[in-house]
Structure 1
Amino acid sequence: MIHFTHRIRSLVGITLFLLSPLLSSVRAQALSSRSLLYRTGLSYTVQQSTGWGKGKAVITSTVPYSPAHRAGLHTGDIIEEIDGIPTAKLQLEELHSLLERPQTVHLLTITSLGKGTRKVVLRPESKPQGSVTERELARAFAYYSLQDEMERTVSYPFIYETSTAYDLTQAHTFAFAPSTESNRALDEALYAQVAEQLKDMGLKADASSPDLIIECFYELRPNSSQERDTSIPRYTSVFNPSLRDFVTLPLLPSEANAMGQYTIQLTVQFSRPNTTGRPIWVCTSRSALSEAMTLKDYAHYMLPLMLEGFPYVSSPKRPTFQIHISRYNYTGIIYDGSELNLIRDIEDHSPAFRAGLRCGDRILSINGRKLNPTNPSELSKLYLNFISDTNRYRDSKQSASSDLQGGAGVSYWDKSNYANIRKAFDQDKYATFFSYLFSFRPYINETEHRELILEIQRGTSTYTLTLHPEFRDETTITPIS
């Protein structure tokens, strides 16, 4: 919230993307062995600071629907061992080498908040080299639907304080400190929000025998000064974990050290019973407001993000998160990277598998849009033409965003131009057949129908089948040390 750099994970040079598929910025998410590429969906770091998992590998994010997610791994989990080898005192490169060994199964020893230590089997998923998944295509064609495929690096005005007086791996239960009558209504709202998130982490509410006592402190005060710097933005985009999207709030960028009409502060404190004066984990968020905002609303947006630092604190002051929003229609088709109408593989139990598609099939059209051209270089040129020709349909009032190559910013589609945008998608000259990845959006498909009608060539035969894609939200929040 202090500042953000809107970095769209789009590939303007789609040829490079398709010939060298983007797997992840984290080497641990992509493993190679002969003709197959392996993926775990796991990001981790070595915890250097005191507290949770010091000196060991700590998971910083898991991608939804990935092998790591299916194995039940979560952000903050400590990886104690990889295939029997302790991670304590290992360097990050050594951890990479353990997970990059060419094997199809890893046995991990994991310590989780509220769950203790357990064994977890991690089975990486594979795909043929030179092939492209729908996840990767969604990134490549991000400009079709920027709100569904983007990255932002965001810093927040949080300050964390931790203590080693208590081993949080031993914590299983929590309760809340009593409220005064005047604060009861607000406390109940905040505590309900905290309790829901802690239960998702693995802790249990137990007022009779809690391991942790939680308390919230807050303050909202007006500022007497009426001087305002008009050059400072009055609003800031903040990620809302419940909506899994960004919202605009009346928060001044704190790196400007500006004084707003109000100052608001929220603190969450964790202590052991009967030792509330010696907290073991504290997070404070302080912001300047450009206009009035209730403490309840501020907490609604800030508390989930503040608790992203519990129990693992990536940075004690002004932590930075990489937020990758990724939403697309999933069928399970894996395309050939050089002939994009050729099916190289089908994921087991996927919509495409259930519909009867098989390796070697060629897709001639999707919902009437012919797959032509299928050469990455030619398709790249048409994609760039589409971006250029439809730029006038973007919402120019939005803050411009920069792509990874440092190109000019591009905004979301303007709602008043949705009809014109749909017409552009329907033009054969742009070859927008992969727009089906975002066909849940009204600027691509104005109907309620979500099925895909595919014309398929198998050998010398041609036939038509109907496919019902699954909507996937693979958004991740990853702390950056």
Structure 2
Amino acid sequence: MKKFSLILLFIAITISGIYAQPNRKYRDAGILFEVSNNPNWGYGEPVITHVQPFSSADKAGLKRGDIIMEINGMATYLRNNVTIASWLTGGTERNMTLTVRNINTYFKEFPLETEVRTVNSLSEFDLASAYSFYSIETTNDRSFTLPARVDPNTNVDFSDYHTFDFINEGTSVPDADHYINQQIEQALIERGLVRDTKDPDIIVQSYYSYQPNVKYNASSRSKNQKTWRYDSEIRQMVQVPILSAEDPNAEAKGEYILELGIRFFDRKFISTEKMTQIWDCKTTEYLTEDYALTEYARLHAPLMLMQYPYSVAKTTAKYIVSFKSFNYTGMNFDNKDLKTITTVDENSPAYNAGIRAGAVIESINGVNFKYTKDEIDNGYRRFIIESMKFRNPKTRFIDANGFPDCMLWSVNKYADAANLFKKESLYMPCFSYLYAFQKFVSEKPSKSIQVEIKDGSSKKSITIVPELQTSVTIKAL
């Protein structure tokens, strides 16, 4: 489900249209869900597909993949999307309790203190993404695809499995096998499974091959060609000497072929006499140069295991990584004029500074908010185009939305970049305050921001010390 799907579903069922009652309020717990039709995981129940960083759900400890069994005591089994959405977002009572199960828990209650917002609100979390080109260094969405074949046994409910151990292959096991299994063990524990060497629910087997590509065509050599993958250890995107999974000529261009697989077997619930395969994930990669198998396993075993337990049979697996770091004050803006405050998150920096719903922003850090939404949008587009000359082409990447010219600011052009934000009438950089902690946005970054508001008939100048909210999330699609 796409972002805002909970809100849109709620609006569709409870009001005749967004414009009829733009101030209609809803509860925002910070989660997205879908009702599962997957026999392996939560069939007929809502499964959380996304948890927004710093939201009430995130603070409570809810995770992607959690199966929601009850909402405020109401059972969710076989309820449709609209009903579940109305239970999650309906009303203005902030307190809500979700009862969930997952790999490591069967029945656990999570009390949430949600935010109450209006349907026409834009949060700073959303605005930070909308204006990410101000600071693409800290805020961007990346995507990549693994050539991963996933094969789950559809006759098995993975919620029955809680422990694991590795298949006994004797004492003469190569060091590479030990290392690969260590990476798998760490990833499985992070997913909630527990290693049990005496009576495991799952028997794990890893397998691999690394060999020259007999179909390699030297005339198609791609020695320096690399692709981006996510390194969960350092929480960054890194380049690896692997041809893109979307390259139709990879088989001819790759000098080596590397395969890595992870299999799960049951020898406890289905049959105690023999092992029954219940899940398998295998990647087949074409390398442009020699690349250590152990390093590949370190990087990719966690990614492969993100396909368990909530996944389907597939031959490729797409991932989206979202990086975000911005100044959070807690103000939520009217999406029609981008200056009226619709709600203020309770106990946020803006709330504690005295800003309330209904206030109209006149300026932030000296940038006037007199412009229309269209003027701000046009100014931002102009900013993107005209800022390219101050960016480093060596850092170019394609973002998750397919924009091909994402580039970081050139370090020796920070002063030039900061000058762009001073050209208010040209670029209308109203929301540059979200990134005012960066030297390429403000030559003299400050820990506070100055907000001029009109509240009724009075005008006020308010100092806010924002919180720097930094997050990295990865989703396996």
| TM-score normalised per structure 1 | 0.80
Q: Is the 8 A contact 2:145 2:245 kept in 1?
A: no
What is the deviation of 1:243? 4.2
Task: Spell out, residue by residue over 1:425-455, the C-alpha distance to the aligned partner (whole angstroms, 9 max, x if none).
Answer: 23333232422223444432566x5512314
Distance (Å, rounded) in 2 between the aligned partners of 1:385 and 1:443: 17
Matching residue of 1:451: 447
Mapping of residues 15-414 of structure 1, within 5 Å:
24-27=3-6, 31-32=10-11, 35-82=24-71, 86-93=75-82, 95-96=84-85, 98-99=87-88, 101-102=90-91, 104=93, 107-121=97-111, 124-152=114-142, 154-163=144-153, 167-177=157-167, 183=173, 185-224=175-214, 225-229=216-220, 234-255=225-246, 256-259=248-251, 260-272=254-266, 277-338=275-336, 340-361=338-359, 363-367=361-365, 369-397=366-394, 401=398, 409-414=404-409
Q: Gapped runs of 5+ residues in structure 2?
A: 15-20
Q: Is the 8 A contact 1:261 1:291 kept in 2?
A: yes
User: Structure 2: which amino acid aligns with 1:57?
Assistant: P
Matching residue of 1:4: none
Distance (Å, rounded) in 1 between the aligned partners of 2:302 and 2:322: 17
Distance (Å, rounded) in 1 between the aligned partners of 2:461 and 2:38: 60
Distance (Å, rounded) in 1 between the aligned partners of 2:155 and 2:379: 61
Task: Spell out, residue by residue over 1:321-364, the C-alpha distance to the aligned partner (whole angstroms, 9 max, x if none).
Answer: 44444432212122344554544432112222334444455555
What is the deviation of 1:312? 1.2
User: Structure 1: which amino acid aligns with 2:292?
Assistant: T
What secondary structure is seen at the aligned counterpart in 2 of 1:300?
helix
What is the deviation of 1:294? 0.9
Which structure has more RCO (C-alpha within 8 Å, separation ≥ 6)?
1
Distance (Å, rounded) in 1 between the aligned partners of 2:138 and 2:274: 43
Task: Spell out, residue by residue over 1:35-73, the C-alpha distance to the aligned partner (whole angstroms, 9 max, x if none).
Answer: 214333322334334322234332222222223323432
User: Structure 1: which amino acid aligns with 2:318?
Assistant: T
What secondary structure is seen at the aligned counterpart in 1 of 2:277?
coil
Residues 441 and 179 (structure 1), Cα distance of their counterparts in 2 relative to 1, 3 Å cut? farther
What secondary structure is seen at the aligned counterpart in 1 of 2:310?
coil
Q: Higher mean Cα deviation, 92-101 or 320-329?
A: 92-101
Distance (Å, rounded) in 1 between the aligned partners of 2:463 and 2:418: 24
What secondary structure is seen at the aligned counterpart in 2 of 1:254?
coil
Distance (Å, rounded) in 1 between the aligned partners of 2:319 and 2:400: 18
User: Structure 1: which amino acid aligns with 2:391?
Assistant: R
2:421 to 425, 443, 465: 425
What secondary structure is seen at the aligned counterpart in 2 of 1:127?
strand
Task: Spell out, residue by residue over 1:397-418, the C-alpha distance to the aligned partner (whole angstroms, 9 max, x if none).
Answer: 56564896x8x74321342433
What is the deviation of 1:293? 1.1
User: Structure 2: which amino acid aligns with 1:293?
Assistant: Y
Q: Is the 8 A contact 1:83 1:106 kept in 2?
A: yes
Residues 403 and 117 (structure 1), Cα distance of their counterparts in 2 relative to 1, 3 Å cut? closer
What secondary structure is seen at the aligned counterpart in 2 of 1:207?
coil
Q: Is the 8 A contact 1:252 1:290 kept in 2?
A: yes
What secondary structure is seen at the aligned counterpart in 1 of 2:250?
coil
What is the deviation of 1:478? 4.8
Q: Gapped runs of 5+ residues in structure 1?
A: 1-22
Q: Is the 8 A contact 1:150 1:326 kept in 2?
A: yes
Count residues in correspondence.
453
What secondary structure is seen at the aligned counterpart in 2 of 1:280?
strand
What is the deviation of 1:112? 0.9
Matching residue of 1:14: none
Q: Is the 8 A contact 1:24 1:30 kept in 2?
A: no
Matching residue of 1:20: none
User: Structure 1: which amino acid aligns with 2:42?
Assistant: G
Q: Higher mean Cα deviation, 106-115 or 177-186?
A: 177-186
User: Structure 1: which amino acid aligns with 2:128?
Assistant: A
Residues 466 and 351 (structure 1), Cα distance of their counterparts in 2 relative to 1, 3 Å cut? closer
Distance (Å, rounded) in 2 between the aligned partners of 1:177 and 1:74: 29
User: Structure 2: which amino acid aligns with 1:294?
Assistant: A
User: Structure 2: which amino acid aligns with 1:370?
Assistant: V
Residues 356 and 103 (structure 1), Cα distance of their counterparts in 2 relative to 1, 3 Å cut? closer
| TM-score normalised per structure 2 | 0.81
Distance (Å, rounded) in 1 between the aligned partners of 2:186 and 2:461: 50
Distance (Å, rounded) in 1 between the aligned partners of 2:110 and 2:399: 40
Distance (Å, rounded) in 2 between the aligned partners of 1:171 and 1:68: 25
Q: Is the 8 A contact 2:213 2:257 kept in 1?
A: yes
Distance (Å, rounded) in 2 between the aligned partners of 1:197 and 1:403: 25
Q: Is the 8 A contact 1:41 1:66 kept in 2?
A: yes
Distance (Å, rounded) in 2 between the aligned partners of 1:31 and 1:233: 50
